[in-house]
Amino acid sequence: MNYGKRGMALEEMLEWTNQAYKTMNLALVDKIPTPWRAYYNKRKGISSATPMKKSSVDFGGTIKGGQAIYFEAKSTKNKTSFPLSNIEEHQIYYLLAVEKLGGIGFFIIEFSTLNERYLVPTGFILRHWEHQRLGGRKSITINSIREGAWLIPTSNVPADYLKIVNSHLLKKEA
């Protein structure tokens, strides 16, 4: 099984959503490409390629009002839990750094078989990640995600994560 492609449908959905947000002047969020190094064979052209460094996260940009927003998108076919092995440690710490600087960081986790997508706070993932490192569960149950995250609605766009950002995560000026 090719695990590298399992989140492509989710990423395409999010790219469509981001294009709609751009058209509506709500946000400018783009896919962040992973830099690759290509290796050439004189006779065949590119023979192989490897990532030059660990990527940051999948998407980043700015929402209306100037707030920075970054998130990582993950998908699973599992119906009962999300494997923590799908998340790399550097992704958690990148999103925590975004939040420390005043930006908004989170994960979008899709249960593709259930057609459910959740906006999951970085701190929620960190707690489960650290618990796993201490010998706890190697996954987060769907019930735990349903209790600690927000179901992303489908409205004018396929995955309206900004509705949650604006109502729950946006830092309001006092």
Task: Give whole-number Cα distances, 141 to 95, 112, 116, 144, in Å.
Answer: 22, 15, 14, 5
Per-residue pLDDT of the chain (174 residues; tens, 9 = 90+): 344 444 579 999 999 999 999 999 999 999 988 665 666 676 766 666 655 556 689 999 999 999 999 999 999 999 999 999 999 999 999 999 999 999 999 999 999 999 999 999 999 999 999 998 899 899 999 999 999 999 999 888 999 999 999 999 886 544
Helix or strand or coil: residue 57? coil
pLDDT recorded at residue 29: 98
- Is 58 annotated among the ligand-binding residues? yes
pLDDT recorded at residue 4: 46
What residues does each domain of the chain span?
A: 3-169
- Is 19 annotated among the ligand-binding residues? no
Q: How is the chain split among helix, strand and coil, in percent rounded to 5?
A: 35, 30, 30
pLDDT recorded at residue 115: 94
**Right CATH for 3-169 from 3.40.1350.10, 3.40.50.300, 3.30.300.30, 3.30.70.250:** 3.40.1350.10
pLDDT recorded at residue 126: 97
- Is 91 annotated among the ligand-binding residues? yes
pLDDT recorded at residue 2: 40
